[in-house]
Structure formats: C-alpha cells, structure tokens
A and B are shown apart, each in its own frame.
Chain A
Amino acid sequence: MNLDLALQTFIVEGRELLDEMEAALLRVADEAEPAESINAIFRAAHTIKGSAGLFGLDGVVAFTHVVESLLDEVREGAIVLSEPLIELLLACSDHIGTLIDAVDAGQPALDPQVEEAGAALLVRLRDHLAAKTGTLALPASAAGEAAFEPAFERSAAAGDGAEHWHLSLRFGPDVLRNGMDPLSFIRYLATLGSIERIVTLHDAVPALELLDPEACCLGFEIAFKSTADKATIENVFEFVIDDCKLRIVPPYSRIAEYIDLIGQLSEEPSRLGDILVRCGSVTAHELDAALRTQQQAQPAPLIGCILAGQGTVAPQVVEAALAKQKQVKDVKAQESQSVRVDADKLDRLINLVGELIIAAAGANLIARRLRNVELQECNSTLSDLVEEVRDSALQLRMVKIGATFGRFKRVVHDVARELGKDVELHVSGEDTELDKTVVEKIGDPLMHLVRNAMDHGIDAPDVRAARGKPAQGTVALNAYHDSGSIVIEVSDDGGGLNREKILAKAVERGLVEAGRNLSDAEIYGLIFEPGFSTADQVTNLSGRGVGMDVVKRNITALRGSVAITSEPGHGTTVTVRLPLTLAIINGFQVGVGKSVFVVPLDMVDECVEFSAEPGHDYTDLRGQALPFIRLRELFEVADAASARQNIVVVKHAGQRFGLVVDTLMGEAQTVIKPLSKMFAQVKGISGSSILGSGDVALILDVPSLVQQAIDSTSQHAVDWSARRAALAN
C-alpha cells in the first residue's frame, strides 16, 4: 500500500480545506444567513479530522476533534459565532495548518512551542464549550493535560457512525495450516482496547462431511473501541495480512462507508447490514435512512426495481448497489471538472510550444524565400494553429488573481487588530488572470504593500476623525489588464505621503542633493530606494527600512515596474505593472542596421515615418510633442542610418514615446529566453529571442526605456531652468 502518496493527497486537500474554512470564517460575520458558511467551516474541520484519523495522525485528530465539537454546537445554534470566537477559530485553523505542515515535513514530534500554542487554544475552545453547555467544564490545568489525549467522547452528530472502529475480518483457508490461529489475533487485539461486540461468521463453514478440518473458513465482524490508530490496528494482523481480508472503518465514519463495506464483502448484504446493526456500528434506523436518502437521490434503474419486486434480490441489496453506483458517478463527475497537473509538465509543454514557434518561423522564412505559394499558404495555416496552441497552452498557466487577493482578507483582519485600527479591505478585479509563476512571486511584494498601506497609510482613528473621514479606513486591491500587462493597484484612503519629510530624509541619507528641483513622482519614487523609511516609529510590521526596495527589486525581477501616486490627506496608490506572461509574447520586430529588436506588440501604439528637426529629441505627432529615443545611438549600432527611418510609437503606463528604427519587419511570435547573468545589468533589454533564421533578436524593455526617456527630458528641463535662472541673474 502506498501510503505516502495518499498522505500527500491528504496534505494538499487539508490545506485547501483550511483555506475554505478561513474564507468562510472571514465572511461569516457579515452574512445575514450564515448557515451555509458555518456548515462549510464544520465540513472542513470534520473532513480533516476524518482523513487524519485514517492516517493515524493522532495530534491532528485530537485537536481538530475539539474544534469540530465546538463547531457542532455552533451549527446546532447552542453557541453563537461571536467575533472573539471567530478569532479563536481562525487561530485554530492556523494551528491545524501548522500541524499539517509538520506532517508534511515528516516531523515525528511537534515543536514544544507549537504544542504549547495548541494546548492554549484547546483551553480556550473548552472554555467556550463549557460556557455554553456547562457540561464539559474542565479545570484549566486539567484541560491542558487532556488536550493531547485523543479523547473521542462525543455525542454522535446526525449522520455519523458509531464511536468505535469497525473491523471486518475474513481469514483465508491456509491460516490454520500455517500455524496461525485467528483466535490469538483477536485475543491480542483485545489488549489494545476493548472489543465491544464480535460476530463470528459461520456462513462459510460447511457441513461436517464437507469440512476440511484444517482449512479456516471463519470470518469476524468486530466493533472495537480503542484509542490506537489505524496502523496499529492493522499491525495486529501483520502476520496473516496476506492470508486474510481485513477492512477497517474508523470511528465516526459516515454511514456510506459502512454501506460501502457491505458492498465490498461477499456475504449477502442484508445479513451484513444486520451484523453491523448488531455490532452497534450503525443503528437500524440510520442504515435505513441512509439507504433511503441515497435511493431518493438516484432515480432507480428499472432492472433493479424489477429484481427487487420479484423478490429475487433483497431490496437492500439493490439500494446498496445503487448507492455504490451513484458514489462512483459523483466522484467521476468531480474528477472530470478539473485535473491536477504537475507544474513541471506544464513548463515542459510551454517550452515545447516555444520551440515549435521558432521552428515554424524558420519554415515560414524558407517558404517565403522559395516563393512557393502553396508552401506559403500551408505555412500560414500552420502558423495560425501554432498561435492557437500557444494561446491555449499559456491559458493553462493562467490563474485568477482572486485567490491571491483572498489571502489578504486575513492579513488585513489580523494586522488591523494588531495596529488597533479599523480597516476594511476592498477587492475588485478578482477575475483578472495572470501567469501562475507571476502570481506565486507577486504574493510577497503585495503583502509588503498592503501592510505598509495599513501601517503608514491609514491614519490613526483620532486623526481620521479630525480630517472628517469615516472611522473605518479602507485599503483597496484592484487588478486589470492594460496593454499586455496586468496592473495591480494597492491604495489606501490614509494621510498620503509627506513630500517634505521624504525629501528631508533623502537629503539626510545623501540620496539627493539639497536644493534640487524634483517632481512629486521623483520624490515619491525615493521611498523605493534601499534603506529608506519615513516611519517615525519602528513597528514590527514595517518601518525598518527593508521592504519597499525589496518590493521594487522583486517586481523588477518579474520584468514589471512599480509607481506611486499620492494625494496629501487623501491617500496613496501604489501601482504595480507586470507582464502577463513570462514565456511567449506577440512581438513586433524592428531592424536597426543588421540587428533585429523585438517590441512587445501590446505596447506598440502605431508606426509613423521619421521626421524631426535635426538635433531634436522629439517630433510632432498630430500636433503633440512626442519624445523619442534613437535605438541606433542607444545601442551604438555601427551601421550608417538608412535613408528612410521610422518611428514606432509605444505606450506604457499612460505615457507615449517613440523609438527610431530603420525598418519595420512586422508582427511575430516571440519566445522569450532569459538573458544570462552577465547581461542582466544591461538597461533597456529584457530578454532575447531566437528568430526563424536562427539569429538572435533582443527584446526591448519598454518600461525601462520610458524611464530613460523621462529622465533625459526632465534632465533637459532641469538644465533649462538652471540656465534660465543663470540668465536672469
């Protein structure tokens, strides 16, 4: 049996369930009809406990059990889900997460700290339980000790099975001959707990004349009460495991699992049903009810009805069979909705698609050179298909940003409490999709930004009141697509950035010279410099001067950019722009001399013929000044300029500027190959790509070019103002 694999599934599912639980906990307070959310929370705890029991994870079971008991009371309405209780349950969900992490890390024993935290939570849980029911009151000290005792005393909730293990044993014929006696196994089992009920199955025992006295034909159904885990129970039968059929149904299993058990065994189901009832594993009523509801859910197939009607098959047989069928169907339906795929496999697919694009471009080039119309037509169809394959392959990696945003609800909730501020999180654009790798890497920078917004941005309650703002502060997360990039905005309605303070600090740190004229944007941009923090107080959240520069570095590493705008007294908005994908883009190829450059097509606005007064770095585009950069000069291309040059007008973050190039070569799919470390420092280049001809083309980093263009123009402006000032004197 490959338990490791199953355990992995448990860990993955456990984490998903905890996420669901957390989300439900966070929304439940705001809901008018919280029943569904409460159910979701309960289900999550219940399922985790059940699965953990299967793997014998006593720590998880013991802790989750108490959480579940409390939730059960909540579900029944005996306990009100108040704000402090939600707080406690959130902490509990975190603790379960820690326990699962420990399982994942293969830690046999828990950190004493974790254990202590767990015990403290249990005490609080029990307090809540005791306060409402008055029956489970435990002295605080005893509760601490009892915490890790896997105690399963609990009134079975509706639909739950009995509180004992149920063992189904069928011994093979050779057991006795091999010198093993089923009796001794059962005697040994009894030392691990107490056998509540045992039913010896004699159905397989033939009449005396037919009996092979040395062949074992016995089977047992055992209701076994024990705190041992499944593995321990299984180990009892270790020596005969090859020679016997052993099925174990853990305590509190769903009735369906017993019905399933009936389905697995060879004996007549109705008789087994009776035996289960006799063992006290299910009550007759539960069995009937379970079978009935399952049958109602399934329109009974005709043959089943007829068989039952003719009395050839007991009705319960049909019902159990139907129930089994339905379960299989349900599982299948769920599976077909989504498939879990290894990220590695996806990466490989994307790589292959990349190679395919390069190969197709090569074929296309040759077709054009041969001037074979048929071949060209073929190639064009092929290119279209490759493009579609590319899009759907990339789509596979696209995930909605909503899940990432969802995590921040909890962060805001926790941080707000820590800071003593009342802050609400507004989320919009959750459906905006972006590449999975980008999503994974953007989490940390966003976390920093959100915490910063709450700590520095949102002003203290009294200040807010003085400024006439609502007492509750707002931090907003927004996402949308804009010309080939995804834009994520983190904004707050706080006090805004203090221009003078930043400037003073920058001068103090020697980041800028005193008395220099700087635009607002430039000053705000200073907070992304290393070692810069304007917070007067260092809190444990932010203010230590690490953060914003790391945020910027992380975002730049993703070929993204970050900008900040602020309105004093009204709030700050940090805008993060990221490329949609890191692998393949639609590119626009341009030629300068013999070199080929690629501009991301989404950023290209239009192309116009080059015209400019000699010596000017701007041109007149329909009455507006358009600054441009001569790529020939920027990259020091040696060849002489051609007679006719063109300007590619690109747009980024709302700003437009031109790139002066020799030739426009048109649109082409571009597979981005990262630059090696040696070239990582080169400004204005974000990557390379291989052309159909086998040549290498450089991909232009438009955001950094925009920055250069702005810097050079503002530099001019500064020069001009300085000169004018000099003239005036």
Chain B
Amino acid sequence: MNASGLASSMDIEGELTIYRAAELRASLQAALAGLTGVDGLELNLAAVTDMDSAGVQLLMATKQSARAAGRELRLVGHSPAVLEVFETLDLAAHFGDSLLMPAAPR
C-alpha cells in the first residue's frame, strides 16, 4: 500500500469476478480498516482483466462502507474490461470518478 497524496492506494489485479469476490472483499475490508489519517482509498483498476456483476456489487459495497466511515473511495485507471461494464450498466455517475477512455479501443 502506497500513500499517494491524501489517499492510500490499492491495486486490484486480474479478475474482479465472483470467483475472487470473497477474497477481494476481505482485502478491501482490510484496506478500509487500515485507513488512518487519510481522506480515502484509491483503487487502481488498471490491471483488472475481467469484471462481472459480483465485481460491480463489491465496488458498490466498498463505496458505501467508505462513505459510512466518512471516507472517499476513488477508482482510477479503469481498464478496458471495467470501462465496458461501466458503460453497459451506466455506472459512471454512480461512482463519480473521472474515466479515461482508451485512445483506441482494443
């Protein structure tokens, strides 16, 4: 975990799906619990290769928990897989993070 500005940051790599949902929940919970003195948690999704509804829920729950604790969840570096899901379900507004569209979709 690297401190970057006021938020601590965490990378999610590989699948953000049902298969790893339990495992990711545990680490996200730990990450939130480990926040001290900083404003929020920054999730770097650049290395996410695959995402499903379970992943969406997980991010939503994390955001909710963070907000309940008065913190901020920021999603950065959305990978193409994440962007596709966000677009399909029109989630950009919900998470409120700025999205960087890839210059040339693969």
Is A594 located at the chain interface by the 8 A CB criterion? no
Contacts of B54 in A (CB 8 A): 176, 181, 213-214, 216
What residues on B are CB-neighbors of A186 within 8 Å?
88-89
Interface of A is mostly: loop
A residues less than 8 Å from B98 (CB atoms) = none
Binary interface encoding of chain B residues 62-80 relative to chain A, with 1 for a CB under 8 A from any of its CBs, else 0: 1011001000000000000
Q: Any chain B CB within 8 A of the CB of A139?
A: no
Choose among B32, B58, B85 the residue that contacts A211 (Cβ–Cβ < 8 A).
B58
Please determine whether B52 and A183 come into contact, CB atoms closer than 8 angstroms: yes
**A220 touching B89, Cβ below 8 Å:** yes
Q: Which residues of A contact B68 (CB under 8 A)?
A: 207
Contacts of A206 in B (CB 8 A): 61, 64
The answer, yes or no, to whether B47 is at the interface (CB within 8 Å) is no
Residue of A with least CB distance to B57: A205
Q: A208-B28, A211-B25 in contact; A183/B88 too (CB < 8 A)?
A: yes
Which residue of A has the minimal Cβ distance to B90? A198
Q: Does B35 contact A (CB under 8 A)?
A: no
Residues on A with C-beta less than 8 A from B53 are 171, 176, 181-183, 216, 218
A202–B52 touching, CB < 8 Å:
no
CB distance from B47 to the nearest CB of A (A): 20
Cβ A216 vs Cβ B57 within 8 A:
yes
Q: How far is the CA of A209 from the CA of B68 in the complex (A)?
A: 11
Given contacts A213-B25, A216-B54, contact A207 B65 (CB under 8 A): yes
Is the Cβ of B90 less than 8 Å from the Cβ of A208?
A: no
Q: Are A214 and B18 also in contact (CB < 8 A) when A181-B53, A208-B61 are?
A: yes
Q: Would A214 and B52 be within 8 Å (CB), given that A186-B89, A198-B90, A207-B61 are in contact?
A: no
- In-complex Cβ contact of A200 among B28, B29, B65, B94 (8 A): B94
Most buried by B among A198, A211, A220: A211
User: CB-CB < 8 A to B91: which residues of A?
Assistant: 200
Q: Are B88 and A214 interface neighbours, CB within 8 A?
A: no
B101 within 8 A of A: no
By a CB distance below 8 angstroms, the chain B residues around A176 are 18, 52-54
Cβ contact within 8 Å between A200 and B89: yes
**CA separation between A207 and B24, bound complex, in Å?**
14
Query: In the complex, A200 Cα to B22 Cα: how many Å?
Result: 22
Any A CB within 8 A of the CB of B46: no
Residue pair A183, B89 in contact (C-beta under 8 Å): yes
- Contacts A186-B89, A214-B54, A216-B53 given; does A209 touch B22 at CB 8 Å: no
Cβ-defined contact, B22 with A213, below 8 A: yes
Is A521 an interface residue when CB atoms closer than 8 A count as contact? no
Say whether A199 contacts B90, CB under 8 Å: yes
CB distance from B27 to the nearest CB of A (A): 11
Q: Using CB atoms, name the residue of chain B closest to A186.
A: B88
| CB nearest neighbor in A for B31 | A208
* Closest chain A CB from B70 CB (angstroms): 13
**Shortest Cβ distance from residue B94 to the other chain A in the assembled complex, whole angstroms:** 7
Known contacts A183-B52, A213-B21; is A197 also within 8 Å of B90 by CB? yes
A209 to B66: give the CA distance in the assembly, Å: 11
Q: Does B10 contact A (CB under 8 A)?
A: no
Q: Which of B76-103 contact A (CB under 8 A)?
A: 85, 88-91, 94
Q: Chain A, 162-202, contact with B by CB distance < 8 Å: what is the 0/1 string? A: 00000000010000100001110011001000000111101
Q: Which residue of B lies closest to A216 (CB)?
A: B53
Q: Are A208 and B94 in contact (CB under 8 A)?
A: no
**Contact at A217–B57, with CB atoms within 8 Å?**
yes
Contact B60 A205 (CB under 8 A): yes
Complex interface: chain A residues within 8 A of B22 (CB) = 213-214
Cβ–Cβ contact A202 & B94, under 8 A: yes
* B interface residues (Cβ-Cβ under 8 A, vs A): 18, 21-22, 24-25, 28-29, 32, 52-54, 56-58, 60-62, 64-65, 68, 85, 88-91, 94
Task: Taking A181-B18, A200-B89, A206-B61 as given, write out 7 further A-B residue pairs in contact, using a Cβ cutoff of 8 Å, ordered by the A residue number.
Answer: A181-B52, A183-B52, A183-B88, A209-B65, A211-B58, A218-B53, A220-B89
The 6 closest A-B pairs by CB, nearest first: A213-B21, A208-B65, A211-B61, A207-B65, A208-B61, A205-B60
What would 24 A/B residue contacts be, using CB atoms closer than 8 Å? A181-B54, A182-B53, A183-B56, A183-B88, A190-B88, A198-B89, A200-B91, A202-B94, A205-B57, A205-B61, A205-B64, A206-B61, A206-B64, A207-B68, A208-B28, A208-B61, A209-B29, A211-B25, A211-B57, A213-B18, A213-B24, A213-B57, A216-B57, A217-B57
